[in-house]
Structure 1
């Protein structure tokens, strides 16, 4: 059963539990700023430099620190669940496997952060060089220039 657009669903407590809208949002891109860009998007060279610095000074080191803490804690948990005298928990092996997968995900995240940092730093040069290349290609010497 579908309800009309905007009609509230009433829960067991008698209060509304949500609203269902049967329409496309006015801005399907989800942006709220002019020009279709996302709010908080670094676009000037200074903002890109600051974003790259934040990745380098805070996000990368904090992520690495959190990963090292998780390594220590997980290894302690794995040891606590290891078999003793032939009896043990399946949890130990499952923790090892989950931690290996998690470690790969952290490594991928660190690689992605390094890539984003590099891209932020090189974007301004790339765009400037593209502009210069397009500009020099637009105005070629014409045979008519000699007349």
Structure 2
């Protein structure tokens, strides 16, 4: 490929990128530009289902599988550890790996809990925000009973 061909390919790609990210047009539903998928939806029922899935499936599964991995790794550490003054180097490496694994499992469980709480509170937050805005507008406009 000649240098001029490469320059033309780069110029075409830049022009295509610019055309797809213009801010003065409506997106076509795909590609660059942050257009949402047409099936994007957010409902209280979907949020409740997500909270239930996190609580019933993800959190118990992560905890169970994390515990199982820790138990089997601990067993391997004991097998490779020094019994008569000699041991395998991998025993120490497995201990370090297990410590990292346990931290990651705890971090994932905290994140799942945080997401579950956030999903559960979203509807309440939005509703109270709407009520607060309506109350402030009513006070400012002098219209009561909203």
SS in 2 for 1:91: helix
Tell me if 1:33 matches 2:32: no
Q: CA deviation at 1:132?
A: 0.5
Match of 1:110 in 2: 109
SS in 2 for 1:33: coil
RMSD: 2.7
Cα distance change of structure 1 residues 29 and 105 upon mapping to structure 2, 3 Å threshold: farther
Cα distance change of structure 1 residues 139 and 114 upon mapping to structure 2, 3 Å threshold: same
Match of 2:28 in 1: none
Find runs of 4+ consecutive structure 1 residues off by over 4 angstroms: 1-5, 29-32
TM-score, normalised via structure 2 length? 0.73
- Where relative contact order (Cα < 8 A, 6+ residues apart) is larger, the structure is 2
Please list the CA deviations of residues 68-124 of structure 1 after superposition, one character each: whole Å capped at 9, or x if unmatched. Answer: 110111011101110121111111011111111110110010011011111111110
Cα distance change of structure 1 residues 69 and 52 upon mapping to structure 2, 3 Å threshold: same
- Which of the two has greater strand per residue? 1
Cα distance change of structure 1 residues 94 and 121 upon mapping to structure 2, 3 Å threshold: same
Match of 2:84 in 1: 85
Q: CA deviation at 1:29?
A: 5.4
Q: Give me the whole-angstrom Cα distance separating, in 1, the residues matched to 2:105 and 2:120.
A: 23
TM-score, normalised via structure 1 length? 0.72
Match of 1:136 in 2: 135
Q: Give me the whole-angstrom Cα distance separating, in 2, the residues matched to 1:29 and 1:76.
A: 51
Q: CA deviation at 1:61?
A: 0.6
Deviates more, 1:55-64 or 1:22-31: 22-31
Match of 1:101 in 2: 100
SS in 1 for 2:136: helix
Q: Give me the whole-angstrom Cα distance separating, in 1, the residues matched to 2:106 and 2:34.
A: 30
Q: Which runs of 5+ in 2 are unaligned?
A: 21-30
Match of 1:66 in 2: 65
- Which of the two has greater helix per residue? 2
